[in-house]
Amino acid sequence: MGGQACVFYGAAQVSKDIDLVLLADAANYERLLTAMRALDARRIAVPPFDVPALERGHAVHFRCSAAGVEELRVDVMVRLRDLPPFDVLWDRRTSFADDTGITFDLLCIPDLVQAKKTQRSRDWPVIDLLVNIHYRENAAVPRPDWIEFWLLECRSPELLVELIRRFPTEARTLSPRRPLLAAAQSLDRDALAAALDAEVRVEMAKDRTYWEPLKRELEAMRLAEARGNRP
């Protein structure tokens, strides 16, 4: 998931780290830790590698030091805000294979967009690009679930107007879930852009609310670690 998935989909050109979402399963954790040992990775920051913490939504951060991956950071999560459990994400994944037989399993674009709805400003232009790329690649053969995804997640004023004109029935049906679909055509471009920004602020606030108790927990863990490390 994360930046590397965005590279595959075309919404980014590089990513400095690797973000993994994995099945919360004892055998799987052991495989992860074996892989981390092979990368000579050590856990950095809090929380510790703790299954209940992961299942509450925390991310565990590693930094590698094996030759060729020195300093590479790997972040691991098992639960993502407002996304279904791993098995559902896995069923919906997108897989690419290279000519050596390596398979890359990625969050599908709609799930990646949801995962990117964070309080970080830099994630939102990526969402915009992901939706635009998905529309451009699939506009000729629109599926009902894709039309819904485009209408609910589009962040470009121009594309939003185009989508509402092209799919007016679906836009009307979905407008209770996204009131902007009903208002967009009566707004000029600047007003529409401002309304889209307002939607982003609401989502950022939701993400902050979600993380608030987890951040308090992180702070307590930091303090506990600092006390434990004190000579």
Partner 1 sequence: MIYEQLPDEWKDWLALTPIERFRESEKIFANYLAMGGTLDPDPDPTSPFYAPDEWRPGIAHGRAGLRLLRRGAG
Positions in the binding site for partner 1 (CB under 8 A)? 4, 7-10, 13-17, 44-46, 59, 61, 70-73, 75, 96-99, 104, 118-122, 125, 128-129, 132-133, 136, 156, 158-159, 207, 211, 214-215, 218, 222
Q: Identify any residues that bridge with 63 across adjacent strands, giving them in sequence order.
A: 42, 73
Instruction: Name the residue nearer to partner 1 (CB basis): 25 or 213.
Output: 213
Write down the least CB distance from residue 27 to partner 1, Å.
27
Write down the least CB distance from residue 171 to partner 1, Å.
18
Write down the least CB distance from residue 48 to partner 1, Å.
14
Concatenate the DSSP letters of all residues of 21-86 into one string: E----HHHHHHHHHHHHHTT-EEESSSPS-HHHHHTT--EEEE--STTSTT-EEEEES--TT---H
Write down the least CB distance from residue 59 to partner 1, Å.
6
Write down the least CB distance from residue 23 to partner 1, Å.
22
Instruction: Name the residue nearer to partner 1 (CB basis): 121 or 169.
Output: 121
Helices 157-166 and 123-138, packing angle to 10 deg? 40
Cβ atoms within 10 A of the Cβ of 22, count?
A: 15
Rounded distance between C-alpha atoms, residue 30 and residue 23, angstroms: 11
Instruction: Name the residue nearer to partner 1 (CB basis): 25 or 154.
Output: 154
Instruction: Name the residue nearer to partner 1 (CB basis): 91 or 99.
Output: 99
